[in-house]
Amino acid sequence: MSLKRRTFLQGASGALGLVMAQIALSKLAYAQGASGILRVAIAKPAGNLDPQSHYAIWAIQDLMFEPLVKYGRGGQIEPCLATDWKIEDGGKTLHLTLRQGVTFQDGTVFDAAACKWNLERWMGLDQFSWMNCSKHFQSLEVVDDYHITLHFKEPVLALMQELSYTRPPRFLSPKSVGAGGKFKEPVGTGPWRQISADDTQSVFEHYDGYWGDKPSYERLEAKVIPDPRSRVAALRSGEIDLVGGFWIAPLTPEEAKQLRPPASTSPSIRATSRW
């Protein structure tokens, strides 16, 4: 799919819409042959991007913050900040091997100490008891700089799947909070680094120190356009390159039909429902 053309992501619904909205930004930014700036419409400001908050746009957090493991194709759990893991004691003990050579976007090293600091921000707390791994959390043990062990009171259903969630399990730089532990700024280990944000847009550039593949685009601008008709107009005029996704900036089927080019002309706008 070429992102050099204005593109419409048809919004889905329910849990599928949530997953697809995240994939839209994090994956499309790697479009083959793409470069320059990718301009995306969002329906509201990105919000508080602390991974332990529940108010931000999920797909924006996904650009900056990474989990221990990823939920991959076909439901397979894949490595991310953890390269290996072993579940023992009937499901009550999890041994993790952390990825080496990873730094947060402020230069802080990701290691067992940073991992422990992040996990203790939410694991075992009542407000996160809706997750089994938090509800049944017992203790955490740092083995060495890149090995950590988690102990649970009882076996955790879907443990690795929960650790792949966008929030609260994603990792924030320990330097991103103030003296009282209050969140100050969004700094993760992911491929995108936020360089500015206000009520009109959030701007990101790819993080040169990222441990994995860097996005093909150098810059991503998430522009706040609350009105769906205005989003359609912005896409038509070339002000933005991408719109859609139930959890980012939804369009109704009627609004989406406005993007269809006349049958007698070559399309300058590509519409797709693959997302």
Domain CATH for 159: 3.40.190.10
- 73 shares a domain with 55: no
**C-alpha span between 43 and 115 (Å, rounded):** 33
The residue to which tokens 């693959």 are assigned:
274
User: Is the residue at 184 inside a domain?
Assistant: no
| Domain-embedded: residue 185 | no
DSSP state of 108: P
Q: Hey, what amino acid is at 203? A: V
Confidence of residue 29 (pLDDT cuts 50, 70, 90): low
Do 206 and 220 belong to one domain? yes
pLDDT at 177: 92
Give the residue numbers spanning the domain of 20.
6-65+190-272
Q: In this structure, are 76 and 165 located in the same domain?
A: yes
121 and 48, same structural domain?
Answer: no
**182 lies in some domain:** no
Instruction: Look up residue 7 and give its two tokens.
Output: 């593109």
In a domain? residue 161: yes
Q: Is residue 183 domain-resident?
A: no
Most confident of 23-27, 212-216, 262-266: 212-216
> What own/partner pairs with CB < 8 Å and gap ≥ 24 does 151-159 have?
151/92, 151/93, 152/91, 152/92, 152/93, 152/94, 153/92, 154/91, 154/92, 155/90, 155/91, 155/92, 156/91, 156/92, 156/132, 157/132, 158/132, 159/87, 159/91, 159/94, 159/132, 159/133
Rounded CA separation 66/172 (Å): 9
Domain boundary, last residue among 176, 208, 242: 176
In a domain, 181, yes or no: no
Q: Domain tally for the chain?
A: 2
pLDDT tens column, 98-149: 999 999 999 999 999 999 999 999 999 999 999 999 999 999 999 999 999 9
If one compares 9 and 150, the residue with the highest pLDDT of the two is 150
Query: For residues 132 and 152, what is the distance between their CA atoms, to the nearest angstrom?
Result: 10
Statement to judge: residues 85 and 157 lie in one domain: yes
Do 86 and 34 sit in the same domain of this protein?
no
Q: Are residues 166 and 91 in the same domain?
A: yes
| Residue 265 sits in the same domain as residue 222 | yes
pLDDT averaged over every residue in the chain = 84
Decide: 21 and 39 in contact? Cβ < 8 Å.
no
Share of the chain above pLDDT 90, in %: 59
Gyration radius from the chain CA atoms: 20
Tell me the mean pLDDT in the region 231-241: 89
In a domain, 30, yes or no: yes
154 in a structural domain:
yes
213 and 246 inside one domain: yes
92 and 147 inside one domain: yes
- Per the CB < 8 A criterion, the answer to whether 96 and 82 are in contact is yes
pLDDT band at 34 (very low <50, low <70, confident <90, very high): low
In this prediction, residue 242 carries a pLDDT of 83
Residues 196 and 61 in one domain: yes
Of the residues 135, 150, 176, which one is the last residue of a structural domain? 176
Q: Mark whether 219 and 138 lie in a shared domain.
A: no
